[in-house]
Structure 1
Amino acid sequence: MAKVKYYYDPDTLSYRKIKVRKRDKFKNTIIGLLSVLLTAFFGFIVFSQFLTSPKERTQKRELENLKLHYELLSKRLQESSEILADLQERDNYIYRTYFEANPIPEEQRKAGFGGVNRYKNLEGFDNSGMIKNVTKNLDILSKQMVVQSKSLDEIVELAKEKEKMLASIPAIQPVKNEDLKRMASGFGMRLHPILKSWRMHNGMDFTSPTGTPIFASGNGEVTIATRSSTFGNVVYIDHGYGYETIYAHMSKIVAKKRQKVKRGDLIGYVGNTGRSAAPHLHYEVHKNKRPLNPIYYYYGDLTPEEFLAMQKASQQLGQSYD
């Protein structure tokens, strides 16, 4: 039932019923409907900002997941770069220093790619910057790993060569200590026992009974195994790396010319052949065709005490045995 409305009429001093015309009633109805529609429309627009479709929610989750994985991947890339940097530093300042090799220049390790834009195909997407950044970091890391891998291959070869060199350098006495009578003459000016004149003695003389075994002091190849007027039965061994050793006055030669020998291999026996005053081994060490004092090449089997005793004996001036 519609609510009846009244108004006060001052002329008649009484209340009268308000009569609404049909036109006004229709107008009021239209205005009310429009108000409701407008309120509903604007309310929907505002509320829709807080509503997402299932597809939009899925895309949002995927984007958040992508960002999370990007952060994790960036962190792993950073950790890998730090590990690689540490390896590069060891490579340059430890491994290469030990093997006497030049370090890899920083420009070579950090060199860019240059040329055209390598990442042009990654442009035009919502997350192009993020994708280009991680792709570029991966490319840089991959290139540095290739450089480092090649360097480690080179280090392995240097290690093999170093091992070969260390095995080749003369490093032991050619006659065992227990077989020696004494170290008769050292490196330097000595009185020749036969010519009776002071001459440069380019090696060391070890007195030992005839037939005492003589051993190669390092790996190498026998270049001479013959008899000469001065050295008698003599063997020359080329050790490579500029090193050569000479074993003279043997009673018998065991090694053959062009034979490959290793440190400690039997090459002959002590004797008194050639220009010699008594049974002994005359032993020389040469580096780049220059004779060196052999006493500095016995580090392979002499204790510090034995080395000092031999050094003292070798410095005694006197007569050599050849």
Structure 2
Amino acid sequence: MSKVKYYYDSDTQSYRKIERRKGRRIGIVMLSILGSFLAGFLLLVIYLNIPQIVTPKEKALKRELQNMELQYGLLNKKMNQIQNVLANIEDRDNNIYRVYFEANPIPEEQRRAGFGGINRYKDLEGFDNSKLIIETSKRMDILTKQLVVQSKSLDEIAELAKEKESLLASVPAIQPVKNEDLSRIASGYGWRTDPFTKVRKFHHGMDFSAPRGTPVYATGNGRVERADNRATGYGNHIRVDHGYGYTSLYAHLYKYNVRIGQRVQRGDIIGYVGSTGRSQGPHLHYEIFKDDQRINPINFYYGNLSPEEFDKVLEKAQQENQSLD
């Protein structure tokens, strides 16, 4: 219940009750509403013209987002570096390693092949940084695939290297009699005079004249295929199967130092110079076969002769003289 207010009327010298006017009451209400509206409008203008108020949680999320963008940027820089290194390896793989081991290069389309089919990155769409995330993910996937291709290629190169190492160790590559033990190189590969018939005849090997009992060395890794005297004219002889289509033959031996089936290494003593079979004096008759065809042994002494020594051997081997067998 509202309080009744009075005022003193000096004319009547009495207190009279204050009567409230309806119009004034309505004006006060309207004025209050207008004041509230103006205050709200002013607050809205102020809010729109001052920096947005950020909560601590929003600040933390913003910092996390900035850190993520920074990390993605650094990741892309690292991928650029890796891509450059990988490109260098790919170039050496195709133009050095595979050329050396006589292997076909990997086609560029195989190295750069992408990913077909469904959209692999659909779950990454719809975010503020979707483009950055999707592009980085694509680069990472492609780089991973290229690394897998290159890794398989290097595995293949490693196998080829093992095979090449075995080939290089097996190919006959040294002189079967040491230079210090030689009396002379009696005859080379080619047309020579037969010591018994005096007729020109093709000589399929090289004759190394040396004293009886001089060591004879295996010229490459392999397995002794024969060690007998059952081949016409060769007398006591040894055949070593080197693999890869190569076979070496050592004839007119005094005696053997190996047995059939034995594995030998390049430089092992396998026998001793003699004059058994169709021979006119102590010497080693040496032949090389490639795919069952006799070839000139002069091309296979790179393993233990200097260029000067090889030139001397070549000069003597080319002289058309009389052979010793």
Q: Is TM more than 0.5 here?
A: yes
User: Is 1:219 aligned with 2:224?
Assistant: no
User: Is 1:233 aligned with 2:236?
Assistant: yes
Q: Deviations over 1:193-214 (max 9, x none)?
A: 1122111101110111111111
The residue aligned with 1:248 is: 251
> Could you tell me how far 1:29 is from its partner in structure 2?
6.2
Secondary structure of the 2:134 match is helix
> Could you tell me how far 1:31 is from its partner in structure 2?
4.0
Secondary structure of the 1:295 match is helix
Q: Return the alpha-carbon distance in structure 2 between the equivalents of residues 222 and 210 of structure 1.
A: 22
Change (3 A) 1:116 1:33: closer
The residue aligned with 1:299 is: 302
> Could you tell me how far 1:30 is from its partner in structure 2?
5.3
The residue aligned with 1:10 is: none
> Could you tell me how far 1:58 is from its partner in structure 2?
1.6
The residue aligned with 2:78 is: 76
TM-score normalised by length of structure 1: 0.88
Q: Return the alpha-carbon distance in structure 2 between the equivalents of residues 131 and 171 of structure 1.
A: 59
Q: Return the alpha-carbon distance in structure 1 between the equivalents of residues 283 and 149 of structure 2.
A: 56
The residue aligned with 2:122 is: 120
The residue aligned with 1:134 is: 136
User: Is 1:173 aligned with 2:185?
Assistant: no
> Could you tell me how far 1:104 is from its partner in structure 2?
1.1
Change (3 A) 1:122 1:24: closer
Change (3 A) 1:33 1:121: closer
Give the aligned CA root-mean-square deviation in angstroms: 1.8
Secondary structure of the 1:232 match is coil
> Could you tell me how far 1:118 is from its partner in structure 2?
1.6
2:106 to 100, 104, 107: 104
Q: Which AA in structure 2 matches 1:256?
A: R
Gaps of 5+ in 2: 1-22
User: Is 1:312 aligned with 2:299?
Assistant: no
Change (3 A) 1:186 1:35: same
Q: Which AA in structure 2 matches 1:225?
A: A
Q: Which AA in structure 2 matches 1:58?
A: A
Bigger Cα displacement from structure 2, 265-274 vs 288-297? 288-297
Gaps of 5+ in 1: 1-20
Secondary structure of the 1:222 match is strand
The residue aligned with 1:192 is: 194
Q: Which AA in structure 2 matches 1:239?
A: H
Bigger Cα displacement from structure 2, 34-43 vs 255-264? 34-43
Secondary structure of the 1:320 match is coil
Q: Return the alpha-carbon distance in structure 1 between the equivalents of residues 274 and 33 of structure 2.
A: 137
Q: Which AA in structure 1 matches 2:153?
A: S
Q: Deviations over 1:111-150 (max 9, x none)?
A: 1221222222222333322222111111111111111111
Change (3 A) 1:33 1:150: closer
Bigger Cα displacement from structure 2, 60-69 vs 198-207? 60-69
Q: Return the alpha-carbon distance in structure 2 between the equivalents of residues 319 and 41 of structure 1.
A: 120
Q: Deviations over 1:170-194 (max 9, x none)?
A: 1111111111100000110011111
Percentage of identical aligned residues: 54
> Could you tell me how far 1:24 is from its partner in structure 2?
9.8
Change (3 A) 1:58 1:230: same
2:283 to 272, 280, 288: 280
User: Is 1:40 aligned with 2:55?
Assistant: no
Q: Return the alpha-carbon distance in structure 2 between the equivalents of residues 30 and 151 of structure 1.
A: 83
Q: Which AA in structure 2 matches 1:218?
A: G
The residue aligned with 1:149 is: 151
The residue aligned with 1:12 is: none
The residue aligned with 1:93 is: 95
TM-score normalised by length of structure 2: 0.87
Q: Return the alpha-carbon distance in structure 2 between the equivalents of residues 273 and 145 of structure 1.
A: 62
Bigger Cα displacement from structure 2, 266-275 vs 26-35? 26-35
Q: Which AA in structure 1 matches 2:246?
A: Y
Residue-pair matches, total: 301
Q: Which AA in structure 2 matches 1:148?
A: Q
> Could you tell me how far 1:215 is from its partner in structure 2?
0.7
Change (3 A) 1:269 1:92: same
Q: Deviations over 1:153-179 (max 9, x none)?
A: 111111111111111111111111111
Secondary structure of the 1:237 match is strand
Q: Which AA in structure 2 matches 1:74?
A: N
Q: Return the alpha-carbon distance in structure 1 between the equivalents of residues 135 and 36 of structure 2.
A: 56
Change (3 A) 1:29 1:111: closer
The residue aligned with 2:205 is: 203
> Could you tell me how far 1:50 is from its partner in structure 2?
2.5
